[in-house]
Structure 1
Amino acid sequence: MDSSIPSISPWRLSVAPMMDWTDRHCRYFHRLLTQHTLLYTEMVTTGALRHGSVERHLRFNAEEHPVALQLGGSDAADLAFAAKLGEQWGYNEINLNCGCPSDRVQRGAFGACLMNEPPLVADGVKAMVDVVSVPVTVKHRIGIDQIESYDFVRDFVGTVKDAGCSVFIVHARNAWLQGLSPKENREIPPLRYELAYQLKKDFPSLTIAINGGITRNDQIAEHLNEVDGVMIGREAYYNPWLLTTWDAQFFNSAESSITREAVEEAMVTYMERAFKEDGCPWYAIARHMLGLYHGQRGGRLWRQVWSNHKLKPMQPREVMAVARVALAKGAEVPA
């Protein structure tokens, strides 16, 4: 490889950790669409790994790489324990959640409320850095409640940086810890991308990725002029075919030639494998691919078949046959 060509950051493009969505089945689906985009797990709490089934929480498919484990927690010893497990299971990165504003997370004293305690976050980061060789990263907001001063997020990053973290994923909205639901927290606090841009200027040696409200490739390209990476959330889930454009546009890779039909076929094969391996029903997997024909003629009828509870007793390959008939029927309807 020509050393004069700058390497592409692993964080150049990623799909956000999303509770109840980005499980291993969703990530397998996304990996069929993009080979280079970094994928994140749902948040896994340190308590779940201390007291629950480690395999259930950490198991993933080898095909998912590169894949990062996001942790929720605040106790340094627990974070070190969980991070070490994550590395042992083969994750490429350990990420600490300092951005989730939900009541449940606040009761556990982690998530966005940790931004009020930078030294505590720094202790947790250092504890993880000391026991793993993979990158330890932090995902956070730009402020808490009515705190809108840039100094707040700058000082947070500065403190955590000194503990050994060099990658920060910035959700460019405040987190309102009272009065807003998690959904409202993704929509109501105004986006202030300029604060993430300023972090990159003030900490040029750090990797700064940006998250929040980004849905199109032209927006991704614009942000990459200012920061090192972009994280996409719900758009990747609702409109997953967008992912097929990323390898060529943002990773200097060959343009994807995969078809929606081939992806559906691959997912059915995966459903059969998952059922054989651990009895996972096909519909627990199919829910993640319902956006495959987003915006396509016949897509609504196709989606209705794959989400039809009455078809649960059928084999997934049989459901695919019915779905393709519905897709063709819908495609025949004049626009």
Structure 2
Amino acid sequence: MLVDRDIRFSVAPMMDWTDRHCRVFHRTLSRRARLYTEMVTAAAVLHGQRDRLLGFDPTEHPVAVQLGGSDPAQLAAAAAICADFGYDEINLNVGCPSDRVQNGAFGACLMREPELVAACVSAMKARVALPVTVKCRIGVDDQDPETALGRLAEDVIAAGCDGLFVHARMAWLKGLSPKENRDVPPLDYSLVRALKRRFPKTPIALNGGLARLDQMLAELDHVDGVMVGRAAYQDPALLLSVDPLFFGAPAPVPDAFAAIEAYGPYIEERLREGAPLHAMTRHVLGIFNGRPGARAWRRHLAAEAVKPGAGLETLTAALANVARGLLADAGAAA
């Protein structure tokens, strides 16, 4: 059973970003943040290379898998497979606005079919003992958002949904790209706050436009949790504050340098398995954002980590750039 504290802080599922390497790195920064996979379709789970699609490192817990689909039986079978892999939660995507997802008749377009979403939730709940949650928008296209969100929530909660993650924007499926759909439709946090008042027993988390820690903490006066996407990925050092501020627990490492050091053994193991260095280091490019040497750090990794045979020495050299930048900055200040 999912409880509100479980979703107090989550890192959003993001296609091409929150892969298994990213999640391991984020786990070096926070022990308590709930992590989510990229969306994987139910059909891919059933017919694809499951170890590649669903495999994860044990250090990632608590970690949830996000499924895409609209066929209740197919989703139920996929959820059972995900449960066997050891995930902590099954999350259904009812928010992605991409053309590919729309063509597959799932994602955000399911906001128009709350009864079908409820049937999907019910089918998964019948197959797995894990929490089953839904990530949605507040509506799509010409829907009235208050009505659309309220109806979806009512139906899926009646079907047994264990929690809702609400991206507080409409999805405009006609005329906007997925990237534009993350920024152009205006945010409406008030609708999500009102939803929580309407369903006080259901864990509800707010997603969309959250960038500052004080802003995130303030929202906990209204909802049970926050789900943070681009801010956590592009400025991962933000995650160092999550355990102390949101959970009253110490951060797992003292600073960004220690986080990179903690990530090192995982990188070494993946390199031995044949993974290229840049597959791991692309997720750490923003860790020193705003600090002296950050640009040199990004430039070095971007240029050197993609070279055949690149190893940990590349990471060490990049760290030296940051250290030199800090020393130069300290000297200038003195």
Q: TM-score, normalised by structure 2?
A: 0.95
Decide which of 227, 245, 250 is 1:231's aligned counterpart. 227
Report the CA distance shift for 1:8/1:142 in structure 2 as closer, same or farther (over 3 A).
closer
Q: Is the 8 Å Cα contact of residues 96 and 107 (structure 2) preserved in structure 1?
A: yes
Greater relative contact order (Cα < 8 A, sep 6+):
2
Pick the aligned partner of 2:101 from 100, 105, 115.
105
* Match status 1:29 vs 2:16: no
Distance 2:184 2:12 in 1: 19
User: Equivalent residue for 1:268?
Assistant: 264
Report the counterpart of residue 121 of structure 2 in structure 1.
125
**C-alpha deviation, 1:257, in angstroms:** 4.5
- Contact kept in structure 2, 1:141 and 1:170, CA below 8 Å: yes
For 1:155, the equivalent position in structure 2 comes to 151
2:31–2:251 contact (8 Å) kept in structure 1? no
Shift of 1:269: 2.0
Does the CA-based 8 Å contact 1:311-1:319 persist in structure 2? no
Q: CA RMSD in A?
A: 1.5
Task: Give matches, 1:2-151, under 5 Å.
Answer: 9-151=5-147
- Is the alpha carbon distance of 1:8 and 1:221 closer, same or farther for their aligned partners in structure 2, counting shifts above 3 Å? same
Q: TM-score, normalised by structure 1?
A: 0.94
Q: Cα 1:8–1:79, aligned 2, differ >3 Å: closer, same or farther?
A: closer
Contact 1:148 1:174 in 2 (8 A): no
Q: Is the 8 A contact 2:253 2:259 kept in 1?
A: no
**Aligned partner of residue 6 in structure 2, secondary structure:** coil
**CA 24–255 in structure 1, closer or farther in 2 if over 3 Å, else same:** closer
- In the other structure, the counterpart of 2:324 is 329
Q: State how far apart, in whole Å, the 2-side matches of 1:314 and 1:173 are.
A: 44
Alpha-carbon contact 1:15-1:38 (below 8 Å) kept: yes
Matched residue count: 328
- Residues 162-173 of structure 1: pairs in structure 2 closer than 5 A: 162-173=158-169
Aligned-pair identity (%): 50
Could you report, residue by residue, the CA deviation over 1:94-153 in whole angstroms, capped at 9, with x for unpaired residues? Answer: 000000001000001100000101111111111100010110000000011122341221
Structure 1 gaps, min length 5:
1-6
Cα offset for 1:8?
6.1
Secondary structure of the 1:9 match is: helix
Conserved? CA contact 2:29–2:251, under 8 Å: no
Q: Determine if contact 2:35/2:64 at 8 Å carries over to the other structure.
A: yes
Q: Does 1:197 align with 2:205?
A: no
- 2:284 is the alignment partner of 1:289: yes
Structure 1: how far apart are the matches of 2:194 and 2:14?
A: 26
- State yes or no: 1:249 paired with 2:236: no
Q: 1:73 to 1:109 in 2, by over 3 A?
A: same
Q: Does 1:206 align with 2:202?
A: yes
Deviations 1:44-99 (A, max 9, x none): 00111122101110000000000000000000111001100111000000000000
Number of the residue aligned with 2:183:
187
